[in-house]
Amino acid sequence: DQQVKQNSPSLSVQEGRISILNCDYTNSMFDYFLWYKKYPAEGPTFLISISSIKDKNEDGRFTVFLNKSAKHLSLHIVPSQPGDSAVYFCAAYTDKLIFGTGTRLQVFP
């Protein structure tokens, strides 16, 4: 039973445009949410996080939005660049990290 769900396995976006990756969760006890990015043949690396007491956190081109009532968070990348092409994992934390299944983002020229 997946507590953290990424329903879009892949996303293709043109360079310069916005990429929006979505994530839904079921457990209202999650108090911290994170996004990790993974390139082929490498381990995931931390990208950005948000506490459950906030609804937005921004870091450069990356912004994470949290909608607690909908149990939904999203990652916005603006502008998208070819180097952003990777698999993005959403994760949520209570006493341990629970990851989603990932969304493969491809940014094309």
Partner 1 sequence: DAGVIQSPRHEVTEMGQEVTLRCKPISGHNSLFWYRQTMMRGLELLIYFNNNVPIDDSGMPEDRFSAKMPNASFSTLKIQPSEPRDSAVYFCASTRKGPQETQYFGPGTRLLVL
Residue from the set 11, 15, 22, 32 that interacts with partner 1 by CB under 8 A:
32
Site string for partner 1, 37-56 (x = CB under 8 A): ----xxxxxx----------
Q: Rounded CA gap, 30 and 104, in Å?
A: 24
Residue among 84, 72, 64, 56 nearest 24 (CA):
72
Residue 74 burial (CB count, 10 A): 16
12 vs 45, beta carbon nearer partner 1 = 45
- Interface residues with partner 1 (CB under 8 A) are 2, 4, 6, 32, 34, 41-46, 89, 91, 93, 95-102
